[in-house]
Amino acid sequence: MDDSSRYYKKTGKNEKDEQLEQYREANTGPGKDLTSDAGLKISNDRWSLRAGRRGPTLFQDFHFYKKQSHFNRERIPEKVVHARGDGVYGEFELYKSMRHVTKAHFLQEPGCKTPVFVRFSTFIGNKGSKDTAVDIRGFATKFYTQEGNYDMLALSFAVFSVMDAMKFPDFVHAVKPNPRTDVPQATIAHDNAWDYIANNQEIAHFIMWLMSSRGRPRSWRMMEAWPVNTFRFINEHGKSTFVRFVWKPVLGVHSLLLDEANIIGGVDPDFHRRDLYEAIERGAYPEYELGVQLIPEEDECKYDFDILDDTKLWPEEVVPVEIIGKMTLNRPVDNFFSEEEQSSFDPSTVVPGIDFTNDPVLQGRSFAYRDTDYHRLGTGNINDIPVNQPIVERNFNQRQSDVRHRIDVDSVHYHENSLANNTPSETPPEKGGYAHYPEEVAGYKTRERPSESFYDFFSQSRLFWNSMPPVEKQNIVETFNFHLGYVQSKSVRQQVVDMFANVDKEMATVIADNIDVNPPSGGNVPVSASSPALNMENTPHYAYTQKVAVLIGNGFDGREVCSVLDTLRHCGVFVDIISEKLGTITGADGAKLEANKIFTSTYPVLFDSLYVVGGRSEGEAKFEQNIMHFVNEAYRHYKPIGVATTGQCYIQASKDNNLAGVVFAANNPNFGDDFVSAIAQQRFWHRK
């Protein structure tokens, strides 16, 4: 036995463990007061310091600055959040002039086209996590305008998780893996996350979105997105209009089932990235229409929600969405690291005609993003990186820093000066120089909430619940059950159930019964309103770009099958031919098809629909087993199934099923069209 072994046997620790002991400290427990890293006791760790109750955040709020700037440096070099993602280039075309509300150049003339770069991402997981995690998604767009870059940072939910940027580091700490074990990855199915949720109830509305189907999109191409913050449009006369933006996918908003998302995360963690590239390669370019919601400045306080509160949406039935343009994504990056990984987005990167409000989250974000990327990218020259460079001329006095490639030949690099005739010179606002809106600010320095409605955590959470169809309400309950089933603390589970009884008591009672806690004693808030715009049943449905797996062997009816495949492809359906082996499959009439996938390397959850043809195979028993596995999985996930005349043995009516969404070719001269219609419907929820 060596000395280290003897030491461990005697003390229960090895020498390294003993060495580390001097660095271990507990931050929680009785008598533990919150302090800064310099030992200063903190009186308010929840709200930033503002000039007046509804005023802007003050730069002198050193506690916010230190908390946020430290948080920004917590990961090297991976992004703290939104680490996993992908980016593509495209173009935005304006439908209609917005000159009456904004002087932004790219929103003036209908038909104006602006190059863009878009990055999609998940929020919680690291770079090696899965695309299909139950999570909020990022949808960041960089417009390369004629006035410089404009960054629009959107999320796949209409609401945010916190009311003030001060709390964002705490939220991220809570949802990230346990700091002791680094488990679990890319999920909130753990105690810390739900403990935070139960004790920070402003997050209720956000969690309702997360537990819904919107937390697991079918594709980035089928995902709605909102920048969540409230901005200002400023027109050429200096008039201000409050604005929120929304991206609406032309293909509609569609999602995965929880079971599908979990399985896909294991068998194809790159599912969304692969889907994006495949669509672009096939010429089915992802398209999104840009909508704006506008509120005149004089109407700021006329609503039952505060327009500066990012945990509240602006219901479309109350503040209509005006569609003003369309973005088309049509080109992948050439180098993932150089372009996607080094892309930088910052909500303070704006152009004349777009300005900030006193939205407490936006005020913090306008500082945090650029500071984060100074650290992450390791340079002050972020906009020298090609993907971030604007397309307009740049003249500035910043110098040096890491990876400086620009060779500045001027001997003068300061302002004001006489040696260079005071150039580069300022540009007055009337000639295109950026000027902030001269909003009047008055009030005492305070950390108060901007208005009383910031205390209302549940009215819009209830609105969201009321807007869901029955099948989606069941999905929400099941997603709660899944996540809370991993929570070890019964106290936390009980707190969550009691919290969400404010949204819907019946929902919370059903959840309580599934997770072994007492039913809630309280009831839901008295809100009966709903928003049809939130109901995904009302979204567009198309067969276009839906993925169909053709399950086939030798001996198929060539005339029938080829006719169906022609119909599918004509309608823009993506077809994969799956068989026992790659290569040529021969029909009974000599027709030939090429199998591009094999059963052993693909899975039924990766497809939106099946075309069951059948046929002969060398390994007959295994071939039959594989087809039945695909059929059973697609059927239980409510997906459409087309059945060729040679495939009827694989799915038959019985007293236990109603075959809803199953279309048979036998004796059906309109099979192709009927199958396409079923594919467009996508799910058959009344199936049994």
Cα 102 to Cα 72, 233, 237, 292, distances in angstroms: 33, 5, 9, 12
Query: Is 168 labelled as part of a ligand binding site?
Result: yes
Length of the chain: 688
The rounded distance, in Å, linking the Cα atoms of 559 and 609 is 21
Which residue type, as a one-letter code, is found at position 220?
W
Cα 100 to Cα 431, 439, 549, distances in angstroms: 18, 20, 50
Q: Which tokens belong to 417?
A: 């000066």
Query: Is 99 labelled as part of a ligand binding site?
Result: no
The rounded distance, in Å, linking the Cα atoms of 303 and 300 is 8
Query: Is 444 labelled as part of a ligand binding site?
Result: no
Query: Is 337 labelled as part of a ligand binding site?
Result: no
Contact (Cβ atoms closer than 8 angstroms) between residue 634 and residue 641: yes
Smallest CA-to-CA distance from 124 within 179, 165, 174 is with 174
Sign of the CA dihedral with 395 first, then 400, 404, and 405 last: positive
Contacts of 475 (CB under 8 A, 6+ apart): 212, 213, 257, 258
Question: DSSP class of residue 15?
Answer: H
Q: Residue 181: count other Cβ atoms within 10 Å of its Cβ.
A: 8
Query: Is 233 labelled as part of a ligand binding site?
Result: no
The rounded distance, in Å, linking the Cα atoms of 55 and 368 is 19
- In whole angstroms, how large is the CA radius of gyration of the chain? 28
Smallest CA-to-CA distance from 191 within 172, 208, 180, 178 is with 178
Cα 150 to Cα 348, 355, 372, distances in angstroms: 9, 11, 18
* E strand or H helix at 629: helix 620-636
The rounded distance, in Å, linking the Cα atoms of 65 and 59 is 8
The rounded distance, in Å, linking the Cα atoms of 312 and 305 is 7
The rounded distance, in Å, linking the Cα atoms of 342 and 345 is 10
Per-position DSSP letters for 107-134, written without gaps between them: GTSTT-EEEEEEEEEESSS-TTS-TTSS
User: Which residue shows structure tokens 């359906």?
Assistant: 573
With 0-12 CB in 10 A as exposed, 13-18 as middle and 19+ as buried, what is 326?
middle
Q: 332: which strand partners? A: 88
Annotated binding site: 119, 168, 365, 369, 376
Annotated binding site for heme: 119, 168, 365, 369, 376
